[in-house]
Amino acid sequence: MTKEMITNDVFDIAKRIKEIDDDYFVVYDKKLCRFEVHNKRQKPDTLSLVLPYDRLDCRAIDKVLSTRTQHIAKLLDELDKQNEQLQQKQIKEMANKRIEECQEFLHRSSG
């Protein structure tokens, strides 16, 4: 089997994640070399979160807490802000490109 359930680790991270939600469990995927947090209630695919860390430590707990559904409104607000910033950046880049094209056109037509 390529996945191993983690029930015992040095810092009790798996246990502490389970304390956040009793349906959570931590798995190490040997094939993909990654830690995953699963939720028994999400059947048939129990995968909830892939931890972006190569070891279990307090960052995993912070990540789980930050991605819980109770925080979804905050996460959506952050996404909206990021999308707005990206859109503004794209608009500015397009405007600058059009200005350059106009300047180039004026330069060619006056010469």
pLDDT at residue 33 tops 70: yes
- The answer, yes or no, to whether residue 67 has pLDDT greater than 90, is no
- The stretches of 1-111 forming alpha helices (DSSP H) are 13-20, 58-66, 72-110
In a shared domain, residues 49 and 90:
no
* Measured distance CA(1)–CA(103) in Å, rounded: 64
Q: How many domains is the chain built from? A: 2
- 16 and 54 both lie in a single domain: yes
40 and 63 assigned to the same domain: yes
In terms of domains, do 13 and 61 share one? yes
Q: Is 108 left (phi over 0), alpha (psi -120 to 50) or beta?
A: alpha
Closest CA to 34 of 60, 7, 69, 62: 60
The answer to pTM > 0.85 is no
The answer to whether the beta carbons of residues 46 and 64 sit under 8 Å apart is no
